[in-house]
Structure 1
Amino acid sequence: MTHRWDPERYLVYADERGRPFFELLARVRAEQPALVVDLGCGPGGLTASLAERWPGARVVGVDASAEMIERAREQAGPVEFEVADLRTWLADATPASVDVLVSNATLQWVPGHLALMPALVEAVSPGGWFAFQVPGNFDEPSHTLRADLAAQEPYAACTSDVATPDAHDARTYLEVLAGLGCVVDAWETTYLHVLHGEDPVFAWVSGTGARPTLQALEAADPALRTRFEAEFKEQLRAAYPQSDAGQGVVLPFRRVFVVARTAESA
């Protein structure tokens, strides 16, 4: 089944999710781009900041989620938003037309996205910028506990084909993009998010990585989802206890950043 995103749930931790975007864009030194595209723009708040940084540019936000684009269009501003799958957009893109191509926490949802790198680079103008960020925390309990539990009965029959995110390390992206003629800056950062409230790690993952699993269970049997949630929350509480200082729950979150500049035209 195709899962649907919930902008309100996603924005619960908007500040924490937004920080990597700005740290990524700090390494993009474009001065007067004509066209800036945000692939996987979500609810659009971060995309709007691109128009503030480059007020002379045409800024376009693209997302496969109609719900996210609907929310994005509610905000005032000059940004254009469109509903499109990243791969469909890429297939239709005019080569060498985008001066700054950004993708924030999106490529991990595209299976085999490493094979898309040549087309993504081809969409960028000579001397232009391609910048993206993906999570690199898929070996953490927030993901492994969900996957292990979802593989058990009675859940497995409902979750065997749900979408699951995946990504590569910084060196892999660096080598692929350098092989395409780009000058590449790639790095990794592990954030220590201090979360508060009831079952905060569940609140975090239910808006992103765990959402397709939860939605599949809901579609099959709401009671099954309720049962899964209860077990998953219990395991997350054990894996992510309250900090000794009593200041909240610490969620380590590794992210992979890549900024590539395409070759200048001959």
Structure 2
Amino acid sequence: MPAAAPRWDPSQYLRHADHRARPFADLLARVPALPREPARIADLGCGPGNATALLAERWPTAHITGYDNSPQMLRRARTDHAGPTPGGGRLDFAAADARTWTPAEPYDLIISNATLQWVPGHPASFPAWVGGLTPGGTLALQVPGNFDSPSHRLMREIARSPRWRDRLRETLRHDGAILTPAGYLDRLVALGCRADVWETTYLHLLPGEDPVLDWVKGTGLRPVLTELGPDADAFVDEYREALRTAYPAGGHGTVFPFRRVFAVARKAD
């Protein structure tokens, strides 16, 4: 039986909002000028909307729609961010699944931040997304590239142990979740785009006790927490001990290296 869709917790996700927003800001910095004013923008996998709101700062008059398939995330996004923007634009949020979403109107920017790793085969959607851009529009994305790091490797190892493997067999599937940077470059250039692809490893200095566990409780651990329900505490206890060894606390906090892959593709005029 396929694993249940993860149940998201906006408050847990936002506990590390500053660190999580840094890659989005770096992605935005490489997006070129958009072809229309006011711009039409789609944010795929908008989560609680805190990063989506940054789009309104960059393009104050734009009509921006954040799309997500989590009712919890959409509720938080609408409460905190929906409505007219100070620059005269508009910010709204709608339910949609990035696995099946296609543009229903021309967009000047389609952007996705730390979402497409959850979408198997997402590069197959690139032709439709690029096709839905206005001439000179941009497709921009950022995905985690840390599936071989201890935070994810240890999670998989515990999930495959005799105690948990029957219940978590279909829950954690990271193989092929993303392309290599060269893979993204090849796919986007083949669509006639001018592509800029790069990778960055951030060294997040996290405060507090078990901060890496606290981080992944908002993201990568959600499928396990959803699948195990009340029994998740026992899994988390095992995982916590493994993370403490892999990410020891230092005098100024815990260093959490995090690799991310970025791509910005501009459609021909």
Give the TM bin, normalised by the shorter chain: over 0.9
- Residue 75 (str. 1) matches residue 86 (str. 2): no
Counterpart for residue 209 of structure 1? 220
Contact (CA 8 Å) 2:156, 2:172: kept in 1 or not? no
TM-aligned CA deviation for residue 163 of structure 1: 5.2
User: 1:15 matched to which residue of 2?
Assistant: 18
Q: Kindly report structure 1 stretches of 4+ aligned residues shifted beyond 4 Å.
A: none
CA separation of 1:257 and 1:50: change in aligned 2, threshold 3 A: same
In the TM superposition, what are the counterparts of 1:35-184 in structure 2 within 5 Å? 35-76=40-81, 77-78=83-84, 79-90=91-102, 93-94=103-104, 97-162=106-171, 164-165=173-174, 166-184=177-195
What is the alpha-carbon distance in structure 1 between the residues aligned to residue 172 and residue 43 of structure 2? 22
Superimposed CA distance per residue, residues 126-148 of structure 1 (whole angstroms, 9 cap, x where no aligned partner):
11011000000110000000001
Q: Match of 2:153, SS?
A: helix
Q: Distance in 2 between matches of 1:33 and 1:258?
A: 24
Shift of the 34–20 alpha-carbon distance from structure 1 to 2, 3 Å rule, reads same
How far residue 117 of structure 1 moved from its aligned partner, in angstroms, is 1.5
Aligned residue number for residue 234 of structure 2: 227
Is the 2:68–2:94 contact (alpha carbons within 8 Å) kept by the matching residues of 1? yes
Letter of the 1:70 partner, please give it: R
Which residue of structure 2 aligns with residue 28 of structure 1? 31
Looking at structure 2, the residues matched to 157 and 190 of structure 1 have their Cα atoms a distance apart, in angstroms, of 34
1:2 aligns with 2:13: no
Per-residue CA shift, 1:95-123, capped at 9, x if unaligned?
A: 6x010111000000001112121122112
- C-alpha RMSD over aligned residues: 1.3
Number of equivalences: 255
Look up the match of 2:202. Answer: 191
Q: Which amino acid aligns with 2:203?
A: L
Identity of aligned residues (%): 53
Indicate the SS of the match to 1:197.
coil
TM-score (norm 1): 0.92
Structure 2 contact 136–267 (Cα < 8 Å) conserved: yes
Match of 2:249 in 1: 242
CA distance in 2: counterparts of 1:89 and 1:193, whole angstroms:
32
TM-score by structure 2 length? 0.91
1:188-230 per-residue CA deviation (whole Å, 9 max, x = no partner) reads 0000001111111111111101110122111xxx2x3221111
Question: C-alpha distance in 2, partners of 1:80/1:176?
Answer: 30
Report the alpha carbon displacement of residue 235 of structure 1 after superposing the two structures with TM: 0.3
Which letter maps to 2:118?
Answer: W
Residue 33 of structure 1: how far off its partner (Å): 4.8
Q: Which moved more, 1:130-139 or 1:148-157?
A: 148-157
Tell me: CA distance 1:86–1:256, structure 2 relative to 1, closer, same or farther (3 Å). Answer: same
Gapped runs of 5+ residues in structure 2? 85-90
CA distance in 1, matches of 2:92, 2:186: 33
Deviation at 1:157, TM superposition (A): 1.5
Mapped to 2, the partners of 1:33 and 1:158 lie a distance apart of 49
Q: Secondary structure at the match of 1:75?
A: helix
Query: Partners in 2 of 1:63 and 1:159 — Cα distance?
Result: 25
Distance in structure 1 (CA, Å) of the matches to 2:173 and 2:112: 18
Counterpart of 1:146, as a letter, is: M
Greater alpha carbon shift after TM alignment, 133-142 vs 158-167: 158-167
Determine the structure 1 residue equivalent to 2:264: 259
Residue type at the aligned position of 1:154: R
C-alpha deviation, 1:4, in angstroms = 1.0
